[in-house]
Amino acid sequence: MASQNPLEYSNLTHHAIPFDRITPELFLPTLREKLAQAKKQIERIRDHNAAPTFDNTIVALETAGEDVDLVATTFYNLLHAHTNDRLQQLAQEIGPLMAAHASDVLLDGKLFARIRSVWENRAKLNLNVEESKLLEKYYLDFARNGALLAEAEKAELRQIDQESSSLAPRFDENVLKATNHFSLHLTSSEEVAGLPEILLNAAAHAAKEKNLTGWLFTLHMPSYIPFMQFASHRPSREKMYRAYGSRAFHDDYDNQKLILKILELRERRARLLGYKNHADFILERRMAESTNRVLQFLARIENASLPKAHDEMKEIVEFAKTRGAPMPFQAWDFSYWAERLKEQKFKFSQDDLRPYFQLENVVRGAFEHARRLYGIVFVEATEYPVWHPDVKTYEVRDEKSQDFVGVFYTDFYPRESKAGGAWMTNYFEQGMFHGQVERPHVSIVCNFTKPTADKPSLLTFDEVNTLFHEFGHSLHSLLSRCRYRALSGTNVYWDFVELPSQIMENWITEKESLDLFARHYKTGEPIPSELVQKIKDSDRYLAGYQSLRQVTFAELDMAWHTTEVSQISSVPEFEDHVVDRLRVLPKVHGTNSSCSFSHIFSGGYGAGYFGYKWAESLDADAFEYFKERGLFNKEVAAKFRDHILSRGGTEHPMELYKKFRGREPDPDALLRRDGLL
């Protein structure tokens, strides 16, 4: 019989969450109850009569808040994947509750004294590698988050964390509402000239749902990106570009004040803890280790990317001129003319690829890669409850033994209740839970083109890339073989976490991989060899621009988190000050990227966005190993699984990488792959 409360540890198959019985009203009372229980557990650990040991202190703490984690994880995942007004209101209460609980634990001097005792006696404890890492994690989590402060400073830190806890959900809420607020309604054939049939069908369907004639376009990615690439009607491109670039900036959902408040609190917190700024605090626990090393890393890529990006932009502008494009060239012209030049250079367009990338086939292709590389299979399982009818569920099993590996959810289509972008998340982390080592429950959430009455969901190549990226994150969780949840799966340094995701993107430019799933949705014919070759030939197209774009975001992130907040008087002026020298397109007044930069202001990547490029340098080097030995080489795949995917954060990532590769990564691998050396 199912538990009365669907937010309890369920007795459904593999303890699956009964999403069909969850209502918003359950979250707050259940969370309060679980927090009270956790508090009693932690008090028992703190007041234990026996001398502190690894088991009675560290392991006990690791399991003390597991029911709190279940409720909070479910809440925040639904807040992003399927939100509503009530969940958004609850976020303003739940955030402070969770922050207060974290402060109560991390600032408890008596509890920290027990942890410190175990830490100082660690040499005598005969701990294995994973146990040693768990002890280090708990000691540093406490030491770096206020346990060593005086009481007055602890009170100030508690107040900062309380105030901060409600700001990230408000930032996200503003971005989502600003995104949903805008739509472009077009009614004449001139205004939609050049747009592919699949986009027109989706836009006509969207208009019909709103009782409108013509076509309705939105700022969600499946609508926005192809519109900017294919719409020949320049005034409409300008409207879309300005709307997208001004989300949560100078409107009803303005994030400017929130940004400054978030930065102020982060700076105060870092200084209270003895760091110069938030970046120094964050980077102490990253592979990169220091602000200077990050800035040097970014400068090296910038120096290689900026001249190349200027050359690429010059070529696009000259090409547009020869085709009679109005001048001066503007930012809303870039995607359109870049796509036209790509078509001429490589004799194909993004739309030529879509028929070969039916969503269901791409998903099966991702699963087949997991089978060939790591020996796991995905079997659709309809008995699991889901949070929305679009969600599909799979049981993951070892192909040979049929042992259970995990539960896998997919949620692919955009809706007004879902945040933009794509992400992977866990509902259950792999590791100890209620006294036994549990397997993970993993979800990927994306925003892909929805199927229509007469056409399935056909992905762009970029969307295929996104799916494989998020699937790589999923494999990191699904293949985890750790004992403790705090160290399992994706619980690694954030400049290492993108390695398992980004390496998966490499396979989809290889014919051997595409032949596994890229088939025409009508005829079933495999993707032609010449089209695969064109994908490979065009793989470095705009490599300088794309690299510079990521570097620009990373340098903007570092600037926000290394500059004294008192020196920042204006969000747009500060952003311009940082990025103007990196621009290869004219600035569009009235737009601002920081106000919708959820990664750094609400998504955990503050002072860490560089990690995407850092991990790219790792994945480029790692994939060279596969290419040397074979794309599906069992020995290399086993090394990657056993030393990277299965070990989570149980060792320093550089040690794990060296066990996989036999050496440290080659820093030139990324520039070599992108043709930027």
pLDDT score of 350: 84
Give the C-alpha separation, 549 to 674, whole Å. 14
Backbone angles phi, psi at 27, to 5 degrees: -65, -50
Is residue 503 within 8 Å of 623, Cβ to Cβ?
yes
470 assigned to active site: yes
Is residue 641 within 8 Å of 475, Cβ to Cβ?
no
Query: Cβ of 328: how many Cβ atoms within 10 Å?
Result: 7
Task: Give per-residue pLDDT as tens, 226-276.
Answer: 999 999 999 999 999 999 999 999 889 999 999 999 999 999 999 999 999
pLDDT surpasses 50 at 203: yes
- Percent of the residues in the chain that have a pLDDT greater than 70, as a whole number: 100
Question: Which entry of 470, 498, 505, 616 is annotated as an active-site residue?
Answer: 470
The token duo for 254 is 């303005």
CA 480 to each of CA 228, 263, 395, 647: distance values in angstroms, whole numbers, following the listed order: 40, 35, 16, 6
pLDDT score of 351: 87
The token duo for 102 is 């974290």
Q: Is 478 exposed, middle or buried (0-12, 13-18, 19+ CB in 10 A)?
A: buried
Residue 476 neighbours by CB under 8 Å, 6+ apart:
489, 490, 497, 500, 501, 644, 645, 648
Give the C-alpha separation, 374 to 398, whole Å. 9
State which CATH number among 3.40.50.300, 1.20.210.10, 1.10.1370.40, 3.40.630.30 fits the domain covering 13-165: 1.10.1370.40
* Averaged pLDDT of the chain: 96
Kind and range of the H or E run holding 406:
strand 404-411
Residue 46 identity (one-letter amino acid): R
Evaluate the omega torsion of the peptide bond into residue 328 and state whether it is cis, within 30 degrees of 0: yes
pLDDT score of 3: 52
pLDDT score of 4: 81
**pLDDT, average across residues 447-451:** 91
pLDDT score of 1: 41
Give the C-alpha separation, 523 to 139, whole Å. 60
What is the 8-class DSSP label of residue 288?
Answer: S
The token duo for 392 is 């599909």
Give the residue extent of every domain in the chain.
13-165, 183-237, 355-537
Residue 27 neighbours by CB under 8 Å, 6+ apart:
7, 71, 75, 87, 90, 94
Is residue 394 within 8 Å of 381, Cβ to Cβ?
yes
pLDDT surpasses 70 at 2: no
Residue 170 identity (one-letter amino acid): R
Residue 315 neighbours by CB under 8 Å, 6+ apart:
341
Neighbouring C-alpha atoms within 13 Å toward the C-beta of 277: 19
Task: Give per-residue pLDDT as tens, 334-353.
Answer: 999 999 999 999 999 888 99
pLDDT surpasses 70 at 279: yes
**pLDDT, average across residues 86-97:** 97
Architecture of domain 355-537: Orthogonal Bundle (1.10)
Task: Give per-residue pLDDT as tens, 528-586.
Answer: 999 999 999 999 999 999 999 999 999 999 999 999 999 999 999 999 999 999 999 99
Task: Give per-residue pLDDT as tens, 411-425.
Answer: 999 999 999 999 999
Query: Cβ of 196: how many Cβ atoms within 10 Å?
Result: 18
**pTM recorded for the entire structure:** 0.94
Q: Binning pLDDT at 50, 70 and 90, where does residue 463 land?
A: very high
pLDDT score of 452: 83
End-to-end Cα distance, the chain: 63
